[in-house]
Chain A
């Protein structure tokens, strides 16, 4: 069955695809320039891609369950978008800077962010969760909930890399690049367009990575654009392409290629990864109100994990390997569950701390007043 009119077909000649939906190695004509990058991947790399997808899907499903059980305020599932996220995050080099939107749980955890930090955000314990420049977090920035705003931050950081000579030297292991994640809905935001204008003007070492998951909550991508979103890049002078975002090998190869061109000083690149949000927008959403089960079923047949599993089996991966990955995923999810339930209260002082970096008399006065006010109840109880 083909997708409904509202979703993007995946059989266009310009689409970069390496694995077809049943896991056969069947590169599309547009994939030709990227095949050597795929051929260089070792079996351990391929197995890691698969492991990443399975482990984070289990985490994502556990987080959805935790929300249903009242442990989290909200959860935006990454279900279905694992290949686009694993491929692009594994394509980034250690020195690169990643700006997720708010559904990039796969990207964040691959770069080293502790899943419990994302949980703390969605539980209402923090507005951030981690320090991007703590080495364990792999230069992964925190989520931005105002759609598209962070694409400008990514571009500004890219300008800083240009001005400080931190890219364009020709050393791929030192030259830094930036990747900005956003979606088909955010692609309509003015900030994304201004980010592309600035990126082109200052030739930032940057990849705009658009996950077209077909739906901006209830609004189909056909409302955001009447042409493939990748075509917009040309208007800004930014080389752009479309990749099958459910194909982890293709997603990896095009992103590695684009990031390396960008870091070398060739300027920004844009990638539209065509994928599908198999879950709800968030746990507050009800997709049955706006899309059909036929459509969901047609995309389920293109599940990125099933595809990679079939490919690895064809290459001789053992049952023991798959069982091991499943066990690791189950253990990871159970660990997150246990740690979520162990999370305690947050001190009231966190509301006042860090509003400013330098002392601010009004905030200090209010914090002191609140402490006194709360202490007055303790005294009264004695």
Chain B
């Protein structure tokens, strides 16, 4: 930061560094916040999100665990029973599945099983999504599995400021939170205001105002939607963009407010479309805002195929062309 007008509490940080700063602050404020995962200590994580934290807080606060995801999540549950607030890093989206049983049959249900007597303040950080040209199991969007599971909360920040605050809010939550980090955005820089969070953890947000059609998505898709909106503006189409931020629960307030003004909606997601979050949101919008809709809600999704080899990811992932094609279709009604 430089210049005499610069505010000392506003920093321009890349997404990954903002997460790092958020984790550091949470760890400094509560000595029972503990990080665990593969290669997160000495190496600082494969994306360097936890860089420097083991040196600062020690090996008992930042654990380089054995390489076993079910073991990591299962022991995190036990640590939560002992009064800790564990923050687990899963190295890549496709590697969360060995822990799927512990997350869905145990972590999600333990509070319910104990009739509220035990709380499960565990955060599972998962770098997710495509756009990085990686090998199999390194580019997936598994949000639906977790959003479908009662007992879990699922969130996904799309900006450095949200990354900084939402990780702290997730750690403060007494419920388990699946924290999906759009890895394509790790290097995106943005302003981080360290004085106060702009929004609660589970709020959605209108990130661009418009009048003709509402574009909805989360994570890295928000950038694609904003690019689409900018291109549409050149053709005289005014798009409003909603960043969902929270995938479970979904904050429908700003979304329905937007749709009641525009009458049209396009949902974009990297995950395959069948039984996806976009399908759930579309159904709810139809139920809650049926008379405001001028056109069917359209979804632009990853295709219903395994995430393809990286050379084809540009075809698989929704891009502004496919989103604008859907915009044209909803406007044709």
Contacts and interface: CB of A to CB of B under 8 A. Distances in A.
A132 B78 contact: no
Given A142-B113, A153-B106, A357 B174 contact: yes
Interface stretch (B8-16, B69-77, B138-146, B309-317): B69-77
Contacts of B83: 160, 164
Contact of B175 (A128, A197, A357): A357
Nearest to B202: A361
A153 B112 contact: no
B58 to A, nearest CB: 10
Contact of B105 (A146, A194, A195, A198): A146
B223 interface: no
Main secondary structure of the interface of A (DSSP, over half): helix
Interface string B78-95: 111111100000000000
Interface in B247-299: 248-250
B66 A350 contact: no
**In the complex, which range does the number of interface residues on chain B fall in?**
35 or more
Contact of A156 (B75, B101, B249): B75
Contacts of B34: 163
B65 interface: yes
Interface string B296-330: 00000000000000000000000000000000000
A225 B115 CA distance: 38
B1 interface: no
A310 interface: no
Given A191-B70, A194-B71, A197-B71, A357 B116 contact: yes
Interface string B172-199: 0111000000000000000000000000
Contacts of A350: 115
B77 A156 contact: yes
Interface of B: 34, 60, 65-66, 68, 70-71, 73-84, 101-102, 105-106, 109, 111-120, 150-151, 153, 173-175, 248-250
Given A153-B106, A355-B150, 17 more contacts: A132-B118, A133-B117, A142-B114, A146-B106, A151-B74, A152-B70, A152-B71, A156-B74, A156-B77, A157-B78, A157-B82, A159-B75, A160-B79, A161-B82, A190-B70, A195-B75, A356-B151
27 contacts: A128-B113, A132-B81, A132-B117, A141-B81, A149-B102, A153-B74, A153-B75, A153-B81, A155-B75, A156-B75, A156-B76, A156-B77, A157-B79, A159-B78, A160-B84, A194-B66, A198-B68, A350-B115, A353-B115, A353-B116, A354-B114, A354-B116, A355-B151, A356-B153, A357-B111, A357-B120, A361-B249
